[in-house]
Chain A
Amino acid sequence: MTPPASDEDLEDTVNAVDEQHDVVITGLGVVTSIGIGVADFLAGLLTGRSGVKPITAFDVSGFAYANGCEVTDFDPAEWIERIDIAEVGRASQFSVAAARMAVADAGLASDELRGRRTLVSVGTTDGESHDLDTLTGHQLRHGPESLDTTMARRYPASRLATSVVRELGLTDVEAVTIPTACAAGNYAIGYGFDAIRGGDVDVALCGGADAVCRKTFTGFYRLGTIAPQVCQPFDRDRKGILTGEGAGILVMESLASARARGARIYARVLGYGLNCDAHHPVAPDQDSLARCMELAHRNAGIKPEEVDFISAHGTGTKANDTTEVGAIRQVFDAPPPTVSIKSMLGHSMGAASALASAACALALHESFIPPTVNHNETDPECALDCVPNQAREAELNVVQNNALAFAGNNAVLVLGRYRELV
């Protein structure tokens, strides 16, 4: 362990280093509507690229509008080598591809990874519910007696994690899917943090995946929360979410492990917080969300004023953005810049907070704050600096990533910059 440089550093949790227990991010795999792979995704974040386009995943006739943020240039065969692509659904294809990319990005050879105790945790909202949509259509036409066997086997959420394990040929592994809806990515990453910190595993492949489906689009449409054109978080004229898809998988390991193999380190995972509103099935609770941020800060050993920007849940609905900004104001005397990458990616559900975590890690590593695009005029009820429309250069030390889900499931993750100590 490197000794602290001064007494001041002893008290400075953000800069204190404990090789065995510090958890770092060393690989990123991303499948998104604004780019596949780290380089393309980073370019998208820096230029404020928008993934919005008309939905093609299902027949949208009868809906007055149906824009979404689909991944349109994804070829699973480019990424998946070992397992039969036909036997995994679209969300699992995303998670497997993202895991492959993340492992390669981390510079981990397959054999090396197989020799390590590993956790694979993948968050999701819908698993392979788009397969269930397809099966439902078939059942309406032909009855339930002739449902497709492959689809009936591959729909369960568990496949998002176990498909990664099968593709990578892992054996000393704990594979779990965490279907805690729209906060699931942060849940899965937090779980990897606890597993590494507790010394249970050497490597954690964690994140989230989802594929656009009729069921979820219809549900949000019926609730009046789908935006007709674009997603405009914090804007006076915001009209709701756009359903999106993709996957984000992070490779995490202890600092000791990363240093021993000379890995490039994107960021440190400082801590996270989890709690439950236990209040309403769909409406968020401001006090409870504020408490979750405080739990995350305490776990990370930071004070609110140390946070350099917040990656908000920022769905672009009236209720979410007002409540979330209210909670931020409760916790922060002077809120830092607060952005929503959902303005670019749409709401990729279980992948959303995993992709936002990947964006935060890149922001720390590349010294910039991603923008909130499609922004015309800030809603006075959401009055904070949302870094409108253009990315901003910034030296960052601590970044906070918020995630909320139906049923009041909150998960807030805190990442920190990694500095090479001499």
Chain B
Amino acid sequence: MTTAEPSTPGTLVRSAGQLVISAYTAVSPYGVGRAAFDDGVRAGRPATGALGEAWLPGPYAVAGLIPGFTAAGALGNKGTRSMDRATAIAVTTVRELIIEAGAAVTGQPEQVGLVLGTGHGSVQSIMDFTRDSLTGEKPYHVDPAQFPNTVMNRAAGQSAIWHGIRGPNTTISGGWLTGLLALSYAARIYRAGRCARALCGSVEEYSRQRAWLEFHARGGVSGTGALGEGGAAVLLESARGATEAGRTPLAAVLAIRFGAFGAPADAGTALAGCVRGALASAGAAPESVRIVSGVDDGGEFGAVERAAVRDALGGDGARWVSCRRLIGDTSAAATSFQLATALAVAEPGDLALVTGVDPDGATVGCALLSVARS
């Protein structure tokens, strides 16, 4: 640890070179846009519900779906005929973020990066395409317009095409940590001077195919919580850049850390080390953290996550928030939704921690935010 003075939460937002979040949004089971999301998570209102006929039969009866969402409904008929659900959620999420930030945010399109997380693109689109190849009269009797939907950079790429964003355009994948990895990527390319600002988040669709794959990956156990879907994203830029553009910094990104554990028994140690590292690099006192927004998977690793964070913070002083219990398991979008949740519920001046344990990758991660004073 350096000799940096422990910072007063919120003060770093005023540092010109500090990376800040100056807008955020969510397209979620609460509906399209930030307001619906904020209302829902602040009220702690569950947004999962019984699946309609169109989603059945499948392994689950309940999920967190974006209410009434279709590509054409969200984006109009033009350009959406061949657009799959994952791509439509991405394009809509980016649109909502641009609305939050103001249209001028993409005014110099070469200067704007777009970093978007995905689990494995749309498994529905990929497997439907292969199915058509296997069942058609000829193996190449497939719809060529669907082919780009089967490539994982489709959501980020189509969002760039739709909104005219011409800076670095990157797709990120890392299980539940995807959202934090996307944030880390965006911060790094910003610091390397590759963009003046970055739109950064992750998306996941609900589909019957994803549901079946998740069901089997969980070992055929249906009791580990509902699946959810949606997209959440933030605008990342420098404090100075935000101020000069007339945008108000909402929170400073103080630190982003990752680690891995070899054996499941070491997961807690890995996460606690990660959190301590983040606090140390920010010069922040552990007890000053007010909000913890964790993956909280409702199982064994969720309990490990809680214990590790409590250990690293030295007690139970922080408020624990769990969006997964409200909107379901959004897979690759999980940590992006957790970030949005932290921003929605934090009080001015709060230090907030977003954490994750990903049992599949045996990886951990966290981000430490300092919410602006007002």
Contact = CB atoms under 8 A, between A and B. Distances in A.
Contacts of A166: 260, 262, 362
A132 to B, nearest CB: 5
Contact of A278 (B161, B209, B261): B161
B361 interface: yes
Given A165-B363, A409-B157, A174 B140 contact: no
B143 to A, nearest CB: 8
Interface in A134-171: 135-137, 139-140, 144-145, 147-149, 152-153, 155-159, 161-162, 165-166, 169-171
Q: How large is the interface on A (under 10, 10 to 19, 20 to 34, 35 or more residues)?
A: 35 or more
Interface in B14-41: none
Contact of A140 (B131, B217, B361): B131
B140 A218 contact: yes
Contact of A162 (B114, B148, B165, B363): B363
A275 B171 contact: no
Interface string A212-226: 001110110111000
A132 B126 contact: yes
A171 B157 contact: no
B91 to A, nearest CB: 12
Interface string B248-280: 000000000011111000100010000000000
B188 A195 contact: yes
Interface stretch (B1-9, B189-197, B283-291, B337-345): B189-197
Interface string B153-168: 1101110110111111
B161 A178 contact: no
Given A407-B157, A407-B158, A175 B174 contact: yes
A242 interface: no
Given A172-B259, A179-B152, A222-B140, A278 B164 contact: yes
A310 interface: no
A136 B127 contact: yes
B328 interface: no
Interface stretch (A103-111, A280-288, A340-348): A280-288
Interface string B175-204: 100100100110011011010000000000
Interface string A284-301: 000010010000000000
Interface stretch (B48-56, B60-68, B115-123, B226-234): B115-123
Contacts of B133: 214-215, 218
Given A148-B216, A178-B170, A275-B166, A409 B153 contact: yes
Contacts of A275: 110, 166-169
B166 A162 contact: no
A405 interface: yes
Given A62-B140, A223-B144, A174 B161 contact: no
A115 B142 CA distance: 50
A170 B358 CA distance: 15
B219 A149 contact: yes
A275 B167 CA distance: 5
B212 A197 contact: no
Contacts of B158: 281, 407
B224 interface: no
Contacts of B119: 156-158
Contact of A158 (B138, B153, B168, B173): B173
B74 interface: no
Contact of B139 (A63, A132, A140, A406): A63
B139 A218 contact: yes
A162 B130 contact: no
A175 B361 contact: yes
A302 B127 CA distance: 45
Contacts of B259: 171-173
Interface centre among A133, A218, A405, A406 (most CB of B within 10 A): A218
A41 interface: no
Contact of A197 (B129, B163, B167, B192): B192
B144 A187 contact: no
A26 interface: no
A278 B144 CA distance: 20
A277 interface: yes
B208 to A, nearest CB: 8
A290 to B, nearest CB: 13
A215 B355 CA distance: 36
A198 interface: yes
B185 A177 contact: no
Nearest to A149: B216
A408 B164 CA distance: 12
A289 B209 CA distance: 36
A202 interface: no
A406 B155 CA distance: 11
B174 A137 contact: no
Interface centre among B126, B153, B185 (most CB of A within 10 A): B153
B220 interface: yes
A409 B144 contact: no
Contacts of A125: 151-152
A411 to B, nearest CB: 9
Given A136-B127, A148-B216, A278-B160, A219 B142 contact: yes
Interface in A233-279: 274-279
Interface in A41-72: 60-63
Contacts of B138: 62
5 contacts: A60-B139, A171-B261, A181-B151, A407-B151, A409-B157
Given A159-B361, A278-B109, 18 more contacts: A61-B139, A156-B119, A158-B173, A162-B260, A173-B259, A175-B363, A179-B173, A180-B170, A191-B185, A197-B192, A223-B147, A274-B169, A276-B165, A278-B166, A406-B154, A407-B151, A407-B156, A409-B169
